[in-house]
Amino acid sequence: MRAWFACSGAELLAQDPRAVAGRLAAAQQARGFAGSPDQGLAWEAQLAALRRAIAACDGAAWTLALEYALLRLEKRIDAVLLTDRAILCLEFKTAAPSPAAPSPAALAEAEDYALDLRDFHAGSRRHAIVPVLVAGQRGFTPPAQPWLLPTQPTEPLLCGAGDLGRLVAWVQAVLPAPAEPLSGAAWLAAPYRPVPGIIEAATMLYARHGVAEIAAARADAPSLTRTAEAIARHVAAARAGQRRLVVFVTGIPGAGKTLCGLNAVFGPARQDGAAFLTGNAPLVAVLRAALARDAVARGACGRAEAERRAAAALQNVHRFLEDCATDPARWPPERLIVFDEAQRAWDEAKARTGTQNRRSRLTLSEPAHTLEIMARRPGWAVVVALIGNGQEINTGEAGIAEWGRVIDGSRGWQAVAAPRVLTATDPVQRLAEGRPDWLALDADLDLTVPMRSVGESAGAAWVQAVLEGDAAAARRIAAGVPALPYLITRDLGALRAALRHLARGRRRAGLVRAAGARRLRAEGLAAEVSGKEVPDWFLRRWPDVRASDALEAAATEYACQGLELDVVGLAWGGDFLRGRTGWQARAFVGHRWQRATQDFAFIRNTYRVLLTRARYETVIWVPRGSAADDPFHDPTRPAAEMDAIAEFLRACGARALDAPPATAPRPADLFSTAEDAS
């Protein structure tokens, strides 16, 4: 049971509060948490308030759960009170003197608990959820706007410990009886299966050295569990047989490839030496910073050591290959490496050339160097190659065909992959022709269920149909979804207001845009998130203006590839527009747009990346452009082009954005003072 202690209202009233506080202290100690006299006194005060409220509302038949653990937030709800009409999530802040106004962070914390139950607790999805902050000794004032059709969860309520009974009575009077009875026993037994974000998952896996609870993330997405288990199975077999093996993991965008890779690196293979390699510099920077901060916060080590450990676990693939390639006698300390976005590994020409900022020391393709380096060490070695379908955004990428060519010509290497690696229409993305003897097939290595989107899994299919230009298919998908998580607006101010409204609790919002959308600067969105700013953008929170929540700067596909936000505002640029025959790609050169036919696939996949960054809603802003009759008409952003994009997205089923509230939508709105910052 996730609660440290649970009982009926009658049982709570019959027990001595000090005895219940003692049981909570024993549960705390059993879980390895340090106790304190102040904690014991706080529990007794909470229990006294709860007893008064339950007695005043005749709640003997209700159920109470204390210290209910939430894995995704790595926190616990102080109390969950299950009445016959609602699930009340109670956060107590009664120890400090009562301030003139509640802390926005405290209100957001209570709301976040309620949102977590809504999204990940099976027993909460069909019932009213009410977040409550019990702070100080203030009274209870019902909301000025009556709950006609309350949101789910409702807006947070606030009261003092002495008026908790009045608040509960008001909730009971306002909410109608549920269509399905709320059973306390069933609620306590219901599964809680969170879907952590990539940053949350990385810190939890790194800290706990285990993956079971996260890998079994969601009941409706068993493919993640199967794939994680399949990788572990093949790694164990390679270790037992002292073999060299490449494990190809394929999957649609947002299906959990990175999470499976982290599972492998931070799982049992960690003791043999394991590292996550990626050419995605922003992903490395963000995850390293997150792991180091978390390790320091947990007291695991000092900052310097935390940063060293994080750097060893998460490495830039180009630096790893160059460091080893220049010293043929060097053995890598890792027996297992995860090669992120392996289809984007450089071909030989690109590997020899390097980048504009750094001359390369490689002489072979990156797949060839990888297998040669990992084969130097006697014994077993495993390369887990994560294949992101449809996310190529650079030239010079070899595709998975190069991996197949290298394996076929090497000695001692074998591979295992899902059947889809042999059926891709693009030969560059086919591992091999026919069925080579070095390849085994395992369907469990293909991730087919999108995990990034918490509320609706049809988003990836909708995005695919939109980018293929199939409005009818997209519209059919949208028609089958109660609330498609894609909205559209033509107003930048409305976009920002909507993101602040949708990012309830502590959920994170941010703006994204294509790097090639050069004329967005004329529409009022010029700033991009630079490489060095990416960790602060993803990890800090408002009112820090460097945070994504400030909604000042937009991250491009290069800054957000492999990462995610809760709510995304996508600024659609003039680099990808509707023409007579479908989508057209352009590049802005000098002072005008030029057709970019050869780069069409890369630009289309840029928008695939941007459209799949959100765990919840994506709000698409299509600028109005420059009207033809404007005396200062700008020919680089004609209004007709922007209108055509907006009309097509609406035809695909994107929902029109309703006007956001003119005032702060909830007491816990962390952005109520942020207008000047945006």
Q: Is the pLDDT of residue 294 over 90?
A: no
Q: Which of 308, 320, 310, 314 is nearest to 345 (CA)?
A: 320
Q: Is the pLDDT of residue 33 over 90?
A: no
Could you report the per-residue pLDDT of 383-392, keeping only the tens digit for each? 999 998 655 5
Mind giving me the DSSP string for 475-531? Answer: HHHHHTSTT-SEEEES-HHHHHHHHHHHS-TT--EEEEE-TT-GGGGGGT---B--G
**Average pLDDT of the residues of the chain:** 87
pLDDT of residue 256: 80
Q: What is the 3-state secondary structure (H, E, C) of 566-618?
A: CEEEEECCCCEEEECCEEEEEEEECCEEEECHHHHHHHHHHHHHHHCCECCCE
Q: Compute the average pLDDT of residues 243-268.
A: 87
Q: How far apart are CA 194 and CA 213, in angstroms?
A: 9
Q: Match 């982290």 to its residue by tokens.
A: 262
pLDDT of residue 219: 38
Q: Compute the average pLDDT of residues 140-161.
A: 86
pLDDT of residue 210: 39
Confidence category of residue 664, pLDDT binned at 50, 70, 90: very low
470 Cβ contact partners less than 8 Å away, ≥ 6 residues apart: none
Could you report the per-residue pLDDT of 93-124, keeping only the tens digit for each? 866 555 556 778 889 999 999 999 998 898 99
Q: Is the pLDDT of residue 306 over 70?
A: yes
CA 490 to chain centre: 26
Domains in the chain (CATH in brackets) are: 3-189 (no CATH), 198-447 (3.40.50), 459-677 (no CATH)
pLDDT of residue 70: 86
Could you report the per-residue pLDDT of 540-561, keeping only the tens digit for each? 998 899 999 999 999 999 999 8
Could you report the per-residue pLDDT of 607-663, keeping only the tens digit for each? 999 999 998 999 999 999 999 999 999 999 999 999 999 999 999 999 999 755 443
Range of lowest pLDDT (41-45, 289-293, 313-317, 672-676): 672-676
pLDDT of residue 388: 81
Q: Match 């019959």 to its residue by tokens.
A: 14
Q: Is the pLDDT of residue 151 over 80?
A: no
Could you check whether the bond before residue 543 is cis, i.e. omega within 30 degrees of 0? yes
pTM of the shown model: 0.80
The percentage of residues in the chain with a pLDDT greater than 90, rounded to a whole number, is 58
pLDDT of residue 663: 38
Q: Is the pLDDT of residue 76 over 60?
A: yes
- Looking at this protein, which amino acid is placed at residue 462? W
Q: Compute the average pLDDT of residues 260-288.
A: 88
Q: Compute the average pLDDT of residues 377-381.
A: 93
pLDDT of residue 325: 84
Q: Which of 322, 311, 319, 424 is nearest to 369 (CA)?
A: 322
